[in-house]
Chain A
């Protein structure tokens, strides 16, 4: 274990020494700089590079690159660095190298010289040697290839959209051989004075394919297939883009190239190898952009340029006064639909009888924009929504003109009992506070206790305490008052009703027997027994009846009199008042 550790430490020390020694050696070697072109003769459009190599250092800085008419020198790429170590006669030597690649686009034929430019390594400055480059037309490519850049329209004004159509391809006879195509479009993404906008639209059903772009990216184009252009049978492709001119002047399109040919390989094990390659160029073009004329420009002009048409449609024709009408206006054409300001209907002439509540606006496509105006009639006499005007500069006619929608007839129904919203004026109804209170102030001192924050400071215990006490009192009294009886039981309810029932039955009685039955029923109910128990019964001296003796005797006399009148040959029953009076006394005595 220790041996392994010692071995690792030794290895690290050795590597450190080698690095130090190598660094020391590298510092001793003076850096050398060289630069050369990848080729001295190139076809027009073919990629050329300047290779800058710094030996003896991994760092360096390339100075300002020269400008050469006919050559577009790009930004340096790199550096890519490499270090190698070798031993010569026991002496370790480390080589360092940094390489930059500077792309060059050839835009015309001719003999060119790339002037020297500065390269700084550490504190030392170096200059490259002049480099010669001869650019010649690719005659075969010019004959077999095709590329054309079309700009429409040819003259525009600021704010006007324009379209470009790039068509390229090659001879139909080469179709089976060509497996590589790359467009060189120096203006791509760097078009000064114009911004890209949504394209006018791609061909429905068109096939799409991918080609290279500027050697470092991919681009999707429309495949036209085998087609005839200018009498030539070609396999062609098309690219369409739309822009909007933002400044007056010229929009420049430098020379564009198409590179097409055949390559092999291209896998991770096999670098692409060019078998044959052709180049075809399209000449540089410029698009003249004129400023918008000041003369004759209406104050309502909101930046609309081009050919624009307007169509309006309302969601309803019959409305109540003040009701909302949604007016949908569709703007179409090849104008700058996305970029103009909508007409201000709140102040447009003819819209005095309508109130604008808002606009919902949406660009549906490059050639269609939909604006929905929310309008409400404020005049009951309004018969139509006037034409909605839009001031447009027409480049073809070179003048400002007003595009209008058609008027939309409507019928406004006035609200009952109102003079119409127009009476309210331009301002929306304004709410206001309710008036001060002038009555009801008593000036009396209140009784509410001051609020307390904590229930433990001044607990408001009286109310819950009373409720709790009440429940406790209920629990205490209930069994003592009831004494085991249920006041809701039928016997108890009959007992409570006994006196009332007696009065009722006596009033209905037709005979002495009826009266006897009624009184016996009363006594039975009050003693929680039956009426039959009281026929022939006497209570004086009875141990189970806690009645006063005089009252008991009086009860017995009344019972005898009732029975005599009911069942005997003679006798008359006591009158009703007397019976009821006796019953009340019995109840009072607790019967």
Chain B
């Protein structure tokens, strides 16, 4: 009897320790990028937007943490806005909200840029838009962290239920399972709808896709301004004149000049 009880306690504690250790984000190592960041900020303050843009853009690495990417994307959006490139600003701000969705200033900038570009507000203010906004608030990393914490909490509650019994542990376990199911569902939806190489149409009047990567071959698919698509192929070196990208939209696939989209 005593051996079983100790076994249960030991198992629960070990599981809790393992789970909480998994839930703790791993700290990355600081890089030399901080110096470039400071230089970019100084250039921006000095009004040298071109230099600031190059430096911020150079730091924008896929391996950065979400919060760092959000900072860089927002700053790039500000640079675009200051240069009256409102569609580019909309693209940068939209990308930043995907990384950090609870930044009120970021949403303010996004709505202002959309208004300046003549687009409808990102948050229409109706019930559906509010619900979508609410669901977009936690990041995927936060959802994972919350999921692991909930698993640990569930282990603790189940342990109490095994050893002590009673109604309260059962109710608590039910609530934790419910919250965990919601977290997992949201995480799964987020995972399924995430794009590997997202891009936004920055042509002010929208653009028509081509069936081949050259002019004169319309594919009959029109993309709206600020429509988010996924880049699935590329012709020519990125950033060079004449480069084309193949994108996947809700209506289908097609090519368009790289200058008509902004990818992040």
Contacts and interface: CB of A to CB of B under 8 A. Distances in A.
B71 A440 contact: yes
Contact of B147 (A442, A446, A463, A470): A463
B162 A481 contact: yes
A473 to B, nearest CB: 7
A467 interface: yes
A268 interface: no
A473 B151 CA distance: 13
Contacts of A451: 140, 191, 194-196
B1 A483 contact: yes
- Tell which of A446, A452, A471 has the most Cβ of chain B within 10 Å: A446
Interface in A413-467: 431-438, 440-448, 450-455, 460, 462-464, 466-467
B166 A463 contact: no
Contacts of B165: 482, 486-489
Contacts of A437: 71, 74-75
Interface in B3-23: 4-5, 8, 11, 15, 19, 22
Nearest to B72: A441
B84 to A, nearest CB: 12
Nearest to B75: A436
Contact of B25 (A435, A447, A462, A470): A447
A448 B77 CA distance: 23
B215 to A, nearest CB: 30
Give the interface SS of chain A, mostly helix, strand, loop or mixed: loop
Nearest to A458: B191
Contacts of B144: 460, 463
Contacts of A360: none
A474 interface: yes
Contacts of A450: 62, 196
Most buried by B among A470, A480, A487: A470
A490 to B, nearest CB: 12
A83 B188 CA distance: 84
A478 B140 contact: no
A477 interface: yes
A474 B158 contact: yes
A590 interface: yes
Contacts of A462: 22
Contacts of B228: none
A118 B158 CA distance: 110
B138 to A, nearest CB: 13
A562 to B, nearest CB: 27
Contacts of A454: 192
Contacts of B71: 437, 440-441
Q: Is the interface of B mostly helix, strand, loop or mixed?
A: helix
Interface residues of B, number: 72
Given A445-B65, A467-B180, A481-B4, A432 B112 contact: yes
Interface stretch (B33-41, B119-127, B204-212): B33-41
Contacts of B1: 483, 590
Interface in B28-46: 28-34, 37, 41, 44
Contact of A455 (B25, B139, B191): B191
A470 B25 CA distance: 22
Contact of B28 (A445, A488, A590): A445
Contacts of B66: 446, 448
Interface in B82-100: none
A461 to B, nearest CB: 11
A467 B149 CA distance: 11
Given A434-B109, A438-B41, A441-B72, A463 B191 contact: no
Contacts of A590: 1-2
Contact of A488 (B59, B166, B188, B192): B166
A470 B155 contact: yes
B101 interface: no
Contacts of B28: 442, 444-447
Contacts of B79: 436
A580 to B, nearest CB: 20
Interface string A224-261: 00000000000000000000000000000000000000
Interface in A462-511: 462-464, 466-467, 470-471, 473-474, 477-478, 480-483, 486-489
Given A441-B37, A442-B68, A489-B165, 9 more contacts: A443-B59, A444-B29, A451-B191, A460-B187, A467-B177, A474-B158, A482-B162, A482-B165, A487-B165
Interface of B: 1-2, 4-5, 8, 11, 15, 19, 22, 25-34, 37, 41, 44, 59, 62-69, 71-72, 74-75, 77-79, 81, 105-106, 108-109, 112-113, 139-141, 144, 147-148, 150-151, 154-155, 158, 161-166, 177, 180, 184, 187-188, 191-192, 194-196
The 8 closest A-B pairs by CB, nearest first: A444-B28, A451-B194, A488-B165, A446-B65, A443-B33, A434-B105, A445-B28, A487-B165
